[in-house]
């Protein structure tokens, strides 16, 4: 069979496979929950900052630790996806975070939150597992759409801003959040396994060695694209984590109000990701990327301009939280 014939056969199989859309929607739901848990310290860190007496720098470390470990874990998990298939790697990744999330309830010291945060960060690494997993179920001309829909799971950042404050205010303690999230992750992992599927043909035949795969790091384009991604996605994650704390600390909003305002940023960012991939397929990735970056730069420039007429006045009375939690804990 010719190369064109093989491609057409693969195209027809991918198009005709009735499991493709089921896999896509189950994976997108699972990634949404994973992303919500990955961003949990955006809300959880606010009462923790008060309870542990953290500085802004220490708060930033707690919030950023899962992002760091999740970002670094994407490389080995992506390699494992090629070797063993996305379904099993995705499932095990979710299961691996259940216990660390639950154990956050029993953490009492700063270093314990840092250590557990490193493990919780695995939930964010699910992106590098789910992206190739869902893409391989679709023909090449529809893979961009599939990855865009899956990437819209970033809206989990907004989900955690809707759910976590309600849990904290209702229960009167932040400790309810890790328990609920751990159960949610476990249930999601089980549902994903029941509704997803595997196709051995999607695995990479005779996968290259780990060293040969890392050879891509010698390509300057890989570093350049990584830098682009660190600016756009890193900026998105950074603001999603910091905005609730900023609104509480700077403007004196209650945690529910701060989370709602931050969700107004997170939700569009997640949903528009699907549209961005569609635009890349239609007009080209390079052109779309440059338009996005210039648009963001323009918006940031306007946001940075502070005038007496448009700036908010800093409130003199800050909102306070009354949470039924443990006494003040040591940071050591």
pLDDT tens track for 213-235: 777 778 888 888 888 888 778 88
pLDDT number for residue 200: 81
pLDDT number for residue 306: 57
Residue 292 pLDDT exceeds 50: yes
Mean pLDDT is highest, among 18-22, 101-105, 250-254, for 101-105
Q: What is the mean pLDDT of residues 153-174?
A: 91
Q: Which residues contact 115 (CB under 8 A, 6 or more apart)?
A: none
Q: What is the mean pLDDT of residues 195-220?
A: 78
Length of the chain as a residue count: 332
Neighbouring CB atoms inside 10 A of 19's CB total 14
pLDDT number for residue 290: 84
Nearest residue to 64 (alpha-carbon basis) of 108, 111, 125, 114: 114
Please tell me the distance from the alpha carbon of residue 167 to that of residue 187, in angstroms, as a whole number: 18
Residue 73 pLDDT exceeds 50: yes
CA dist list (Å): 321 to 55, 115, 172: 17, 26, 9
Give the range among 4-13, 59-68, 132-141 with minimum mean pLDDT.
4-13
Whether residue 330 contacts residue 109, with contact meaning beta carbons closer than 8 Å, is answered with: yes
Retrieve residue 317's tokens.
């009375």
For residue 135, the surrounding DSSP H or E stretch is helix 126-135
- Domains annotated for the chain, with CATH where assigned, are 11-304 (1.20.1250.20)
Is the alpha carbon torsion for 170, 171, 177, 181 positive or negative? negative
Query: Which tens digit of pLDDT belongs to each residue from 32-53?
Result: 999 999 999 999 999 999 999 9
Q: Which long-range contacts (CB under 8 A, 24 or more apart) does 163-168 make?
A: 163/36, 164/40, 164/43, 164/44, 164/259, 165/43, 165/255, 165/256, 165/259, 166/256, 168/43, 168/47, 168/255, 168/323
Q: What angle do CA 92, 98, 104 make, to 5 degrees?
A: 145
pLDDT number for residue 234: 82
Greater pLDDT, 303 or 152: 152
Please tell me the distance from the alpha carbon of residue 210 to that of residue 276, in angstroms, as a whole number: 31
Q: What is the mean pLDDT of residues 265-281?
A: 77
Query: Which tens digit of pLDDT belongs to each residue from 12-35?
Result: 444 457 888 999 999 999 999 999
Q: How does residue 279 score in pLDDT terms, banded at 50, 70 and 90?
A: confident
pLDDT number for residue 310: 47
Greater pLDDT, 260 or 332: 260
Q: What is the mean pLDDT of residues 130-143?
A: 87
């Amino acid at each position: 069979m010719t190369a064109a014939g093989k491609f057409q056969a693969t195209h027809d199989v991918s198009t005709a496979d009735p499991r493709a859309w089921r896999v896509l929607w189950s994976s997108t739901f699972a990634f949404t929950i994973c992303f919500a848990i990955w961003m949990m310290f955006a809300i959880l860190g606010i009462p923790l900052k008060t309870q542990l007496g953290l500085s802004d720098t220490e708060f930033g470390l707690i919030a950023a630790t899962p992002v760091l470990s999740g970002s670094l874990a994407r490389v080995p998990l992506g390699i494992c996806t090629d070797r063993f298939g996305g379904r099993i790697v995705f499932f095990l990744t979710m299961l691996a975070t259940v216990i660390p999330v639950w154990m956050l309830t029993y953490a009492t010291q700063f270093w314990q939150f840092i250590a557990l945060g490193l493990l919780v960060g695995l939930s964010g690494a699910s992106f590098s597992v789910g992206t190739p997993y869902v893409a391989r179920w679709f023909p090449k001309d529809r893979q961009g759409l599939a990855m865009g829909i899956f990437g819209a799971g970033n809206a989990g950042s907004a989900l955690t801003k809707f759910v976590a404050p309600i849990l904290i205010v209702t229960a009167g303690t932040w400790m309810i959040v890790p328990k609920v999230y751990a159960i949610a992750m476990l249930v999601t992992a089980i549902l994903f396994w029941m509704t997803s599927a595997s196709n051995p043909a999607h695995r990479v035949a005779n996968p290259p060695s780990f060293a040969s795969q890392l050879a891509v790091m010698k390509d300057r384009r890989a570093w350049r694209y990584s830098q682009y991604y660190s600016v756009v996605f890193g900026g998105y994650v950074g603001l999603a984590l910091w905005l609730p704390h900023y609104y509480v600390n700077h403007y004196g909003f209650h945690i529910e109000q701060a989370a709602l305002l931050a969700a107004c940023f997170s939700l569009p960012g997640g949903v528009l990701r699907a549209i961005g991939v569609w635009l890349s397929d239609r007009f080209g990735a390079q052109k779309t990327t440059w338009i996005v970056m210039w648009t963001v730069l323009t918006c940031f420039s306007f946001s940075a301009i502070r005038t007496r007429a448009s700036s908010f006045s800093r409130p003199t009375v800050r909102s306070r939280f009354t949470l039924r939690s443990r006494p003040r804990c040591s940071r050591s």
